[in-house]
Amino acid sequence: TRPEYTRNIISGSYGYTWNIRKKFFIRFTPFQANIVKVFNLDTTFFNNLTDPYLKNSYKDHFDIGVGANLYYTTDPSVNPQKSYFYLRYQADVAGNIISLFNKSLKTNEFGERLIWGSPYSQYFKMELSGVYTFKFGADASKMLVVRLLGGVGKGYGNSKVVPFEKLLWGGGAYSLRGWQARTLGPGYAPKDSLFKLPNQTGDIRLEGNIEFRFPIAWLLKGAIFADAGNIWTFNRKNDSLNQFDKRGVFKFNNFYKHIALDWGVGLRLDITFAILRLDMGFKSYNPATSQWIPLSKIFRGNNYEITFGIGYPF
């Protein structure tokens, strides 16, 4: 439930999981489905959306497809005593099987094929992340952790855009911690004032993180970290209205200019069965304003963020 709309989702899936030598874990879901219905949509909010692609994402839709999750680690133990690496890949593809029956499906006024009165979604989405943890010290209690992450999603066929519950976003306790969740990007576009709660989303996500973890006393541990990244949208060439915000478009020749940067410090309480985490992140470079934030201003306005999380961010 949000101020702009209420969304109901019914989901179901069936899949298989197995592992190879306890280092390579596979989850394959040959069937996964979502039925999404939007209620109480604020007409003022909807009519003020200038991006027709964004409008399209706030519709009822039916999502059926397949998914896969691959995970590889060099050390599967609960608490590795040596440096280790893991790689995670996740992919979802929807709508291709249904598209084989397009000729027998009804259409709406926009030419979209319908299932149970709602357009079915057709898209792909994939994310890849790699994390290396360097352990050192006499008891391997100090760690330097590096993560690289990339994601992309694109609608095609019966969908102009990826469903809104599948769109990518940045910020928050498990992303760039100098930003509140869903307030970053896309590109150097400013935060959309139409949303009463932040909801900045995109089609592409790139991120890098580095964190040094060290013991303090008893169950308390500390961390110093830095994050970099952003989200972007694809260039919507078929948009005849040409109303979408081009400041969020991903371009190979200049996307690096819109990488957001932050740094921060954190505390972790290790109670064995869980890690309780408190982080304070400070913006270093804000692409929305194209400004570097000097140390003298890190506590002003929205230049810092305090986040709480369960478990390590990566």
Question: Model confidence over 122-159: pLDDT tens digits?
Answer: 999 999 999 999 999 888 889 999 999 999 999 999 99
Above pLDDT 90, what percent of the chain?
Answer: 74
Please check whether residue 170 is in contact with residue 176, taking contact to mean a CB–CB distance below 8 angstroms: yes
Could you tell me what percent of the chain has a pLDDT over 70?
97
- Segment 4-19 shows an average pLDDT of 94
Find residue 127's DSSP bridge partners: 90, 151
Supply the mean pLDDT for the chain. 92
For residues 46 and 7, what is the distance between their CA atoms, to the nearest angstrom?
A: 14
Q: What single-letter DSSP state applies at residue 171?
A: -
- CA gap 194, 191 in Å, rounded: 9
pLDDT of residue 243: 56
pLDDT confidence of residue 312:
95
- Among 83-97, 243-257, 291-305, the least confident range: 243-257
Would you state the pLDDT for residue 127?
A: 98
Contact call for residues 6 and 39 (beta carbons, < 8 A)? yes
For residue 183, the model assigns a pLDDT of: 95
- pTM, two decimal places: 0.91
pLDDT digits (tens, 9 = 90+) for 196-249: 788 899 999 999 999 999 999 999 999 999 999 999 999 876 554 455 678 999
For residue 238, what pLDDT is reported? 57
Q: Which helix (H) or strand (E) holds 248?
A: none
Closest Cα to residue 121, out of 77, 78, 84, 167?
167
Band of pLDDT at residue 185, cut at 50, 70 and 90: very high
For residue 241, the model assigns a pLDDT of: 44
273: CB partners within 8 A, 6+ apart: none
What is the Cα Rg of the chain in Å? Answer: 21
Cα–Cα distance list, 231 to 116, 117, 154, 170 (Å):
33, 32, 13, 7
Give dist(CA 187, CA 245) in Å, integer. 10
Mean pLDDT over 106-131 rounds to: 93
155 CB neighbour count, 10 Å cutoff = 23
Q: What is the pLDDT of residue 239?
A: 53
- Does the pLDDT of residue 96 top 50, yes or no? yes
pLDDT of residue 233: 94
